Amino acid sequence: MLKRAGFLALIGVFLPLSVPLSPAAADGSVVCSEALGGCVIVAEDSSSSGGSSTPGNTGAAVSEAEGQTIEPECEVGEDSAICVGSAASSGTAAPAVSPVQVAAQAIEMLPLPAPEIGLAPNPPSTALVGSPVWLWVDNQTWTAASRTATAGSISVTATATPDRVEWSMGDGSSVTCYNAGRPYTRGTSSSCTHTYVSSSRSGPYTITATVYWDISWSGGGASGGQTLSQSSTASLGVREAQAIVQ
């Protein structure tokens, strides 16, 4: 889906932005998502016994289009989203939405920012060989966050729980921190640091911070999970300490 300062991997599901319907389409609810690539429709099939929803074929709906398209209106709040739309009346069911598709909408709304890297020494200052470099990310609350999406009768809640930050230090070594780290404060210590053993003679080291979240979702009689990540980079020069001769 995204590559802002870094990357964010999401479920790979594609649906057309406007789902064309034959003139026989029922009224329905629509779920829209950038993660899905468009919208899907939940409709009641009035031609089936009991009026239950019947899954359709998205590809068939596209190929059989004859002039009618859905242009849904979506209301997206801070913690939830509801999308509804209507199609022309008829007895043919439109493609039915699944909990996985609604989950993709909920996951897309989760606040998973690319990390803002904090370093001490702070560039353009340089670090010294043998002295610890403090590592932290500024914009991570390091608490679980949840969002809910609804389409028709299906409501799915997705929760993101931060797991770790993996730091690639540019010198071939890496550091894994199971917290966001802490900004440098004189007289204190940190569990998230790295000490370089050689200078960056050919240019500053490129440091990459990757934040990983455990994602879980449930609703509509289904549940699932995955891991998502975001990365950012920074550069830091490292030099040898110079002895003072008196």
Average pLDDT, integer, range 202-228: 97
The overall pTM is greater than 0.75:
no
* pLDDT score recorded for residue 140: 83
- Cβ within 8 Å of residue 17, ≥6 positions away: 37, 38, 39
Tens digits of residue pLDDT in 26-83: 344 444 544 444 544 433 333 333 433 333 333 322 223 333 333 334 566 667 766 5
* pLDDT score recorded for residue 76: 64
* pLDDT score recorded for residue 77: 67
Check if the beta carbon of residue 81 is closer than 8 Å to that of residue 149: yes
* pLDDT score recorded for residue 4: 36
Q: Where along the chain do its domains lie?
A: 20-108, 117-239
Greater confidence (93 vs 173) lies with 173
Check if the beta carbon of residue 74 is closer than 8 Å to that of residue 33: no
pLDDT of 183 over the 80 cut: yes
Question: Rounded to an integer, what distance in angstroms lies between the CA atom of residue 227 and that of residue 211?
Answer: 10
pLDDT of 209 over the 90 cut: yes
* pLDDT score recorded for residue 96: 81
